[in-house]
């Protein structure tokens, strides 16, 4: 069975009109979730908590889409290659 992991994270943006974080080291990692519904619930809670700060944004990253383990990696993924 394939897991469909989702990461919820957010932080302060440089500008409300751009998706560029002011300080990547200060990102708020809300957590990793086993399905979209749970991730959405966590995202919504954080987004509502920070609704008065236009520079704060939270996102859901679909971790399961980043890599298919059945596909061989490229040489650039291997250290020393």
Q: Where are the domains of the chain?
A: 1-19+38-69
From the number of C-beta atoms within 10 Å of its C-beta (0-12, 13-18, 19+), residue 13 rates as: middle
Which residues of the chain are modeled with pLDDT < 70? 1-2, 67-81
- Residue 80 has a pLDDT of 46
Give the C-alpha separation, 45 to 23, whole Å.
Answer: 22
Whole-number percent of the chain with pLDDT over 90: 70
Report the topology of domain 1-19+38-69.
Alpha-Beta Plaits (3.30.70)
- Evaluate the CA torsion angle 67, 33, 12, 47 in order and state its sign: positive
| pLDDT reported for residue 65 | 80
């Amino acid at each position: 069975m394939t897991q469909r992991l989702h990461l919820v994270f957010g932080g302060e943006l440089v500008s409300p009109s751009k998706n560029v974080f002011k300080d990547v080291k200060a990102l708020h990692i809300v957590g990793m979730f086993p399905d979209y519904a749970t991730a959405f619930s966590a995202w919504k809670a954080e987004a509502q908590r920070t609704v008065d700060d236009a520079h704060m944004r939270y996102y859901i990253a679909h971790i399961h889409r980043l890599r298919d383990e059945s596909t061989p990696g490229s040489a650039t993924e291997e250290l020393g290659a």
